[in-house]
Amino acid sequence: AMILPGISGSFILVMLGMYPEVLGAVNDRDLLPLVVFMVGAVVGLSVFSTLLNWLLEHYRNLMLAAMIGLMLGSLRVLWPWPGGTDTTELAMPATGDAVLVPIALAVIGFVVVVAIELVSTRLLAHDGTAEPAPDPA
């Protein structure tokens, strides 16, 4: 499960250096390490989601800014198409389509999100149920 955008369970295992051990336990069907891993994942997920929910309730704007910063900061690793995991050299695609299609899809996604937000805001204002965003101060 991904609680934060771009941070998957596999990515966390790689960062902690535990990916080979967990994958080995899966291949060997060694249940004890897998059960310990699953219990830790469930406890960690519930604690982190509770903490993130509390932070979003009390410091919404600051948390959204931090999460957007995390996503923007990860773009350096993901785009423009890194040449591999063991190098910082970038491998730009040779064709223009390989660059233009992802950019066009990102723009389309942005426009869809903005359109949904505008429609939602107008519907709430029309119903008279619009509430101002909570002030974190």
pLDDT at residue 71 in the model: 78
Q: What is the pLDDT of residue 79?
A: 63
Alpha-carbon distance of 36 to 27, in angstroms, equals: 16
Low-confidence ranges of the chain (pLDDT < 50): 1
Could you report the per-residue pLDDT of 12-45, keeping only the tens digit for each? 888 888 899 999 999 999 999 999 989 998 998 8
Query: Measured on CA atoms in the order 48, 51, 57, 63, is the torsion positive or negative?
Result: negative
